Amino acid sequence: MIPIREMLSETGISEQQWRVLRVLDEHGPLDASTLADRASLLFPSLTRIAQSMRKRGLISQVQDKTDRRRQVIEIADAGQKIIDDNVDHAVQIVEGFKLSIGEANYEQLLDLLALLDPNNSD
């Protein structure tokens, strides 16, 4: 995590906020529950993190048009800029991990980590 923390120190966002932005960038707008699951956050933590991110203009949150009980969270321009500005650095970090442990071990590590996810259906 040290290389990621170093990268994030320059952005002013936390590791959890980075995960939220990455999930939204990859999957598009999501309801809060799905976002919490995909970002590996507890729902109450996401609620607190999302509030802070909304205040900073990194995400927007609106009521779902079909189900007024649901909130849909979307990456805002400022959040997308953080992703865009750091994507090359993030790719370099991943490539460094792959070089350190090898491609096969890296893929195995991801598979093993996925097993820890209680929402993993595999």
What is the value of pTM for the model shown? 0.83
Question: Which residues, other chains included, contact 45 with Cβ-Cβ below 8 Å and sequence gap of 6+?
Answer: 16, 36
The answer to whether position 120 is within a domain reads no
Residue 55: inside a domain: yes
For residue 96 the two structure tokens come to: 């460094």
Domain assignment present for 39: yes
CB-based contacts of 64, cutoff 8 Å, min separation 6: 31, 70, 71, 72
Supply the CATH number for residue 17's domain.
1.10.10.10
Q: What is the pLDDT of residue 71?
A: 85
Residue at 42 is within a domain: yes
> For each of the chain's 122 residues, which pLDDT tens digit applies?
788 888 899 889 999 999 999 999 999 999 999 999 999 899 999 999 999 999 999 999 988 788 878 889 999 999 999 999 999 999 999 899 899 999 999 999 888 888 886 555 55
Two structure tokens written together for 71:
């909130």
